Structure 1
Amino acid sequence: MADSTSSPRISPELADLIRRYDPEESVGYLIKQAHLSLQRAVDAEMTALDLTAMQWGPLMLLAMGRGETAAELARSACSDTGAMTRMLDRLESKGLIRRVRSAEDRRVIKLELTEEGVRATEQVPQRLHDAVDLHTRDFSEQEVQQLKSLLRRMAANGAQRG
């Protein structure tokens, strides 16, 4: 009779696969590590602007005209409206955005950058470039273009999964 506290046995084939699997050679693992490193670099760049990784995105979307209400920005950022509203509250408390009632429909609250928000937003693209340049500093232009092409293909392949 088997002991009920013992672990289930795995097949020798699975055991061999597990022994041979090296997560540090996994494409998914490597993409995740690169993403985390890039995220840390962007966070460091944004600290000088007193922005977090989550805050610069809505500012840029607003500046680029990708939305003028919390709901529109949430859709553009693939975010939840409640989370976006809380983020906008923080940006408003920092004096970077303001909420303005729509003249056409008083129920609608539109968002706009303040002068301080415009100044901060003007600095974001260069800081993003600096963070990416750090990560691609030894890459040729051809390698950067190839990397972007490969990542686009991966995303397209994943999107076909449905």
Structure 2
Amino acid sequence: MDSTHNSAPCPDAPASPPADFYQAESYTPDDSIGYMMRRIISLVAQGVERELEPSGLTNAQWVPMFKLYMGCASTAAELARQCELDAGSMTRLLDRLEAKQLCSRSRSSDDRRVVNLELTDAGRAAAQEIPAVLCGVQNALLAGFSAEEWQILKSYLRRILDTAQTLHASTEKNDK
């Protein structure tokens, strides 16, 4: 941490002090949880894209379609936030989905700056297939795990995610 940040504990920070499992002098990326999680995410994405190839959906395209299908967003701006994309990238992605006739865009009659999104019938049909593909790819990766081990793994990952989100929120709050 640099000296410009307050090192006093933030009320939103996790109650436990940081662990010291990793040491700079013995650090190897292959043994890093960050590296392993990143590789898993990459391999899951490749597997999903391979399974969705017959539908013509890429990894970049199925995520926003699924978020629209699940009701996580209804406007281009909301979808960009949900997918962690900038407005320009989202516009280009929506151009491709619209060209494939999987979604439609319409300007809000109340506020012309707002672009409403809707899946077409073909888009809904394609999006309905996504959960089965996600389950198949993830279940294949969990071959050999017991139901108990799966639950424990999920609880550990949830703890890491919760801590990461708390630290991120704390950092953003301190940066303001």
- Quickly name the TM-score band, shorter chain normalised: 0.7 to 0.9
Match of 2:37 in 1: 31
Task: State the structure with more CA Rg.
Answer: 1
**Residue 105 of structure 2 is aligned to residue 99 of structure 1:** yes
Match of 1:59 among 56, 65, 70: 65
| In 1: Cα distance, 2:113 partner to 2:36 partner | 47
Shift of residue 104 of structure 1?
A: 4.2
| In 2: Cα distance, 1:107 partner to 1:157 partner | 36
Match of 1:75 in 2: 81
| In 1: Cα distance, 2:163 partner to 2:129 partner | 34
Which ranges of structure 1 fall in alignment gaps of 5 or more residues? 1-16
Per-residue CA deviations over 1:7-44 (Å, capped at 9, x if unaligned) read xxxxxxxxxx75x5443222222222222221211111
Within 5 A, what are the aligned runs for 1:62-141? 62-141=68-147
Q: Between the two structures, name the one with larger relative contact order (CA 8 Å, sep ≥ 6).
A: 2
Shift of residue 72 of structure 1?
A: 1.1
**Residue 154 of structure 2 is aligned to residue 154 of structure 1:** no
Q: Which moved more, 1:151-160 or 1:88-97?
A: 151-160
| SS at structure 2 position matched to 1:45 | helix
Are the counterparts in 2 of residues 61 and 67 from structure 1 also a CA contact under 8 Å? yes
Within 5 A, what are the aligned runs for 1:1-40? 20-40=26-46
- Give 1:142's aligned amino acid: E
TM-score by length of 1: 0.80
Call closer, same or farther: CA 1:143–1:114 in 2, change over 3 Å.
Answer: same
RMSD: 1.9
| SS at structure 1 position matched to 2:117 | strand
Aligned residues: percent identity? Answer: 41
TM-score by length of 2: 0.74
Are the counterparts in 2 of residues 45 and 128 from structure 1 also a CA contact under 8 Å? no
| SS at structure 1 position matched to 2:134 | helix
